[in-house]
Amino acid sequence: MLPDFWWKYKHRCRSGGLEMPLSAMPGAIVGSTILTGGAVGSVLYVGTGGVLAQETGRLFYDDPGNRLSVGSANSVPSGQTALVAGDYLLVGANTTSGGANKTSIIFTNNGYSAPSNANATSNGDKLVFYNLSGFKTGIGIGSNAELFYQCNGNASSGHFWYTGSTATAILRLSLTADGNLLLNNALSGTGTGVFGLLNATVVPSTNPTGGGVVYVEAGALKYRGSSGTITTLAVA
């Protein structure tokens, strides 16, 4: 036999000897607490006095606005909060862009600054992947609305782009900590602030319409123009 409280909450509410259909209850029932009122999208959580139907200064969910604000003094830097009111994290359908469904993380138009040093943050920091004493890696927005990529910490720090036509990732472009721009994992010749090219795997065989192609063949720097003329710019 089912216990009495099953019938009480599934079929009716008994109060003072009266029976009230559940549909006529003034609010939802959690344990012995009847929840009434509250804003749409209110977050329910348990405090020392029982179940509360409310937000706090650090927990807020805006259902119509698709905004979630979460913050904790123990998990975010002092003076900052995570996803504060006015900012929002949107992942899912975005019907405001040409009717196309998109999956996006959108940052509001707040906060821009030059990159800060390691173990610090600035208003421009948007995605910080690693930030300890002496090391920092992140992406942000500068004071002129430019997108900056930051990676500093030691001589091996830098930005590296990998591509590949198979499952194997191949290093194609490197911007090293000492300012070298290296294509296809070329060597810098122990230089600083240099541009490095490897020998072309396949030298160009057709004319580049409207432009030209610079490449290295057997150590010699060459240029092929739109008319097909090949000029050696520097010997091996």
135: part of which helix (H) or strand (E)?
A: strand 135-141
Low-confidence ranges of the chain (pLDDT < 50): 1-2, 5-18, 22, 72-80, 93-94
**pLDDT value for 5:** 47
- The backbone region for 6, taken as left when phi is positive above 0, alpha when psi lies in -120 to 50, beta otherwise, is alpha
Please state the separation of Cα 190 from the chain's center in Å: 35
- Decide the pairing of beta strands 44-47 and 33-35: unpaired
**pLDDT value for 42:** 55
Measured between alpha carbons, how far is 55 from 47 in angstroms, rounded to an integer?
12
31, 55, 58: which is closest to 42 by C-alpha? 55
Rounded to two decimals, what is the model's pTM? 0.60
Write the CB contacts of 168 (distance below 8 Å, at least 6 apart in sequence): none
